Structure 1
Amino acid sequence: MNPRALRYFLAVVRAGSVRGAAEALHVAASAVSRQVAELEAHHGTALLERLPRGVTPTEAGRILAEHAERQAEEAAFLEDRLRRLRGAPQGTVRLRCGAGFLPDLLENGLAGFATAHPGVAYRVALGTTGEILRAVAEGETDLGLAYNPPAHAGVVSRRLAPQPLAALLPPGHALAEDGTPRPLRAFATLPAALPPEDHGVRRLLARVEADEGFRLSPRLETEAFELQRRFVRAGLGVAFLPGFAALEELRAGQLVAVPLADPLLRHATAHLLARAGRRLPDAVERLAGWLEGRLAALS
């Protein structure tokens, strides 16, 4: 099979459209369509199902995409081994994570690793839990950092650590005086800063709300954890985050974390994710080991 055709086809599957693949590859859409058509003619079967908006792989297309992904990974692994013969680790490591991991990742992870391994670069993207799992499973990213992700057949947890969800309040608040764990229901009347409904933290909260028969009082909805923390610091209400997502403010005494007593929230975990069965390039493997031992989220 034509390696270029495989590469173009894999880009179509990842992007969900020929036009999106062409933009990612910086080629004309007609060139992508031609390569896909040649692959379908070579195998004598349709590889893509054309939809009103974009495309999705057929069963044969999914099998071919998995083969193309393995080939791309093996080629990258070979190139990495050859680079290692030339000296120190090099290359670009791709990471995708939730926004709450960013301060921890930069300060406790990448800063020290960059000093120790100056030949390695990084490409960091944000995503929801579902987007992180998909990107890791489909090889779009090398490592993922996710909060309480569901099980996924194509993804393994390199490391996980308990990271209970806590209620963040300003110092001196009546509900934070003695540090006693409190049920989520205790905060139902306070104005709350919450992430969007499709966010992993919001879904955890929603499950407790449904089980216990009450509703929180959202005053601010935002994906930006920094904005949620500032909402609390301004005395506007409460936010619900794991401790590592507000480490700086907690250490400085600007916020107080009240443990939540609900079992579902108390047993939440942070995960470092990689694709199941993949042999990681040297730079990725080294960074994974570094993050496992240094991130507050994984300690």
Structure 2
Amino acid sequence: MHTPTLDAMQELLDSRRVHYFLQVVASGSVRAAADQLDVEASAVSRAVSLLEKECGLTLLERRGRGVVPTDAGRLLATYARRQLDVQASFYAEVESLRHANRGHVDLVLGEGMLDLFFQPLITDFMRAHPQMTLDLHVQSTTDSIDLILEDKAHIGLVFQPPTDVRLRSHHATPSAPIQAIVHRTHPLATIKRPLLLSELIGYPGAAMMDSFGVRQHVRAAEISEQITLRNVLTASSFKALWQFVDAGLGYALTTASASFAARIHMPDVVALPMANPILNRGATHVITRTGRHLPPAVIALLDHFIAGIPSRPESVPAL
């Protein structure tokens, strides 16, 4: 394979072959990509082969019944997406001069953020911009950050993201503290002061999975108190934790906003404050990828979030 010049590389990146290649990467197989593109699989395979020849690189390798990008393929896919993003930003800005309210935003947030902010924050924005479209991805903290870094989402609403120079935090606001959620008949509910983590050890607990920021925060608190809690349930749903508690099966450590508690309506579930300072200083961040060109529609939603996210969500009152 020959090595193309930079000018030749730029020219081929504008071709249909790159579009076909990106679809294969997204779909995981040539056949699935062809179905999405509504073309013959042979046309997709031929396009990728020509792209590999022009790049002088192997871009895909077989994995099981599908294909995955090689290191070179991942590099090309990332670069191509960013080039397309810059191009889309330019077109969107030109279009916005003609139609100020048009555009598209990919937003990623956790289930807890969805319950906190969908109404009225997101719904108000959609009412004010009826010609804009929104793709809403509900993911864990780890998966949310991956989507931001891979340019598959413009904006993320994330609980306590890690410090990473690739991420830009536009706004941070203290979140509701992590509390012990229990049924009102649970023995812990008789303690009238903030709880130590060590006081939970004798009871079965429920926790979010490790990819969620809340769980990572709790782990940090466990390390600070040199204990390991006994979780009999791990879940990817905050509502599942509350249902576990409502059934009288044990406690859950999670954020407890009043708006979420009101929405799921479990009157026998109460929130008990925790003494560990780590559990009381989390924050919700509005993030994008550092250096990414943001189209006008994205900037509009970003500004809306910064102006509209409350300074601190109201916590569920303790028993």
Partner AA of 2:275 in structure 1:
A
State the partner residue of 1:273: 287
Once the two structures are overlaid, the 10-residue window that deviates more, 64-73 or 131-140, is 64-73
What's the secondary structure of 2:228's corresponding residue? coil
How big is the shift at 1:132?
A: 1.0
Instruction: Rate the CA distance shift 1:283–1:188 in 2: closer, same or farther, 3 A.
Output: same
State the partner residue of 1:56: 69
Identity %: 33
Alignment partner of 1:147 is 2:159: yes
Alignment partner of 1:180 is 2:201: no
The correspondence for 1:288, drawn from 302, 307, 314, is 302
Partner AA of 1:37 in structure 2:
S
Partner AA of 2:18 in structure 1:
L
1:196-211 to structure 2, matched below 5 A, reads 196-211=209-224
- Report the RMSD for the aligned CA atoms in angstroms: 3.0
The correspondence for 2:172, drawn from 157, 160, 165, is 160
State the partner residue of 1:214: 227
Once the two structures are overlaid, the 10-residue window that deviates more, 81-90 or 128-137, is 81-90
How big is the shift at 1:51?
A: 4.3
What's the secondary structure of 1:81's corresponding residue? helix
How big is the shift at 1:73?
A: 0.8
1:33-48 to structure 2, matched below 5 A, reads 33-48=45-60
Instruction: Rate the CA distance shift 1:27–1:127 in 2: closer, same or farther, 3 A.
Output: farther
How big is the shift at 1:185?
A: 2.2
* Superposition TM-score, scaled by structure 1 size: 0.84
Contact 1:108 1:295 in 2 (8 A): no
What's the secondary structure of 1:54's corresponding residue? strand
What's the secondary structure of 1:46's corresponding residue? coil
Give 5+ residue unaligned stretches, structure 2: 1-11, 314-319
Instruction: Rate the CA distance shift 1:161–1:21 in 2: closer, same or farther, 3 A.
Output: farther
| Alpha-carbon separation, structure 2, partners of 1:260 and 1:150 | 23
| Aligned residues between the structures | 297
Give the number of the structure whose alpha-carbon radius of gyration is greater: 2
How big is the shift at 1:265?
A: 2.6
Contact 1:104 1:296 in 2 (8 A): no
What's the secondary structure of 2:231's corresponding residue? strand
The correspondence for 1:137, drawn from 149, 158, 162, is 149
| Alpha-carbon separation, structure 2, partners of 1:279 and 1:211 | 40
State the partner residue of 1:115: 127
Instruction: Rate the CA distance shift 1:117–1:64 in 2: closer, same or farther, 3 A.
Output: same
Cα distance per residue 1:100-158 (max 9 Å; x no partner)? 11122211311211221111222112212221111111111121122222234432222
How big is the shift at 1:296?
A: 4.2
State the partner residue of 1:226: 239
Partner AA of 1:276 in structure 2:
T
| Alpha-carbon separation, structure 1, partners of 2:298 and 2:243 | 34
| Alpha-carbon separation, structure 2, partners of 1:264 and 1:49 | 44
